[in-house]
Amino acid sequence: HRDLIGISALERHEILYVLAEAEQYVEFNRQAAKHTDRLSGLTIINAFFENSTRTLLSFEIAGKRLGADVINMHAAQSSVKKGETLIDTARTLNAMRADAIVIRHGSSGAVGLIAGHVDCPVLNAGDGQHEHPTQALLDALALRHALRKRGQTSEDFTGLTVTICGDILHSRVARSNILCLQAMGASVRLCAPPALMPTGVEQIGAEPFHDFDKALDGADVVMMLRLQNERMDGQFIPSPREYRHLYGLTKERLAKASADAIVMHPGPMNRGVEIDSDVADDPSRSIITDQVEMGVAVRMACLDILTRKARGEPGWGEGE
């Protein structure tokens, strides 16, 4: 079977395939009755060792709409609190014959580690500062829908400039999005205070900025990220007020981007810090709620694709 640990393991044609599969679920989810028995009889376990609203709920909704039995394991109420190791927890879930396990964990690499100890597909719902692949896929789908509304028909992002601004250092969303956007042909600019910019971003083809106004100049898409205070390790960062002044997306600042630049944010937002409400809630620019909608469709597609082998169909990448 195949797992979904990171965008780094996906070829461009595989990203496009997941997005194409997700399209059918966008329409499906807009119907009044949204239930299929495609995954009937399968058991999906969502094991979340970190907090989540969007990712956990959308994976749960995705599995249920596909007819699977979905079980959520909240680490705070589990035997992890009694000292059980991650691998023993993984073996326990495996012994219950899960057909897919969705995992969020605070440590980079933890989800890949678990994947090596279970027999079913593992989907990464965010691991530390490493990757959040379904976030990048849903962002790509939401962006493609927004571009179509603006009359652009290309299936990829060739010629597009995307500025990602915020706590790049700690952001698995940034990492997965850089890989996904570049695979789809976009140019990626990264903007952060010096303490929150990883070293060597030029080596992965991204352009670093510390001046937000310069990073915004002519950008087609602006993706804002929150400060991940829970992952700070003594880095010097400005106060929230200072941060808004330097790196907050205000209406005035957005005017420096291209005329109808698209605004994105993976959530959760810190309104009035990295983004102002009048930008976040502007339906002509912000696609933040579309991102959430696309999240359910993308997660349905990922669960469908990765459980094909369990359903007796050729696995992903087999029989092509």
Contact 10, 183 (CB under 8 A): yes
189 close to 205: Cβ distance less than 8 angstroms? no
Q: What crossing angle do the helices spanning 12-29 and 288-306 adopt, rounded to 10°?
A: 110
Instruction: Tell how many helices (H) and how many strands (E) occur in the chain.
Output: 11, 9
The distance of closest approach from Cβ of residue 144 to ligand CP in the complex, given in angstroms and rounded to an integer, is 18
Task: Give the C-alpha distances (Å, rounded to integers) separating 315 from 54, 59, 63, 67.
Answer: 28, 21, 18, 19
Taking the C-alpha atoms of residue 108 and residue 201, their distance in angstroms, rounded to an integer, is 18
Tokens of 111: 């989800």
The one-letter amino acid at 315: G
Task: Give the whole-angstrom CA distance, residue 310 versus residue 304.
Answer: 10
128 binds ligand CP (CB under 6 A): no
Q: Is 208 in the site for ligand CP (CB under 6 A)?
A: no
Question: Is residue 268 within the footprint of ligand CP (CB under 6 A)?
Answer: yes
When binding is defined by CB under 6 A, the residue of 191, 193, 266, 299 that contacts ligand CP is 266
Among 4-12, 143-151, 180-188, 266-274, which window interacts with ligand CP (CB under 6 A)? 266-274
Beta bridge partners of 191: 165, 209
- Nearest residue (CB) to ligand CP, 54 versus 271: 54
Question: What binding mask, one character per residue, do residues 132-171 give for ligand CP by CB under 6 A, x or -?
Answer: ---x------------------------------------
User: Does the annotation flag 205 for ligand binding?
Assistant: no
Q: Which is nearer to ligand CP, 15 or 225 (CB)?
A: 225
Q: Of 55 and 161, which has the nearer Cβ to ligand CP?
A: 55
Note whether 177 binds ligand CP by CB under 6 A. Answer: no
Are 75 and 47 spatial neighbours (Cβ–Cβ below 8 Å)?
A: yes
Residue 182: which of 8, 6, 22 has the closest Cα? 8
Q: CB 136 → ligand CP: shortest distance, Å?
A: 11
Q: How near is the Cβ of 276 to ligand CP at its closest, in Å?
A: 19
Residue 315 C-beta: closest distance to ligand CP, Å: 27
30-89 binders of ligand CP (CB under 6 A)? 52-55
**How many of the other CB atoms lie within 10 Å of CB of 152?**
14
- Residues annotated within the binding site are 54-55, 82, 104, 132, 135, 172, 226, 267-268
Which residues carry a binding-site annotation for L-aspartate? 82, 172, 226
**Site of interaction with ligand CP (CB under 6 A):** 52-55, 126, 135, 266-268
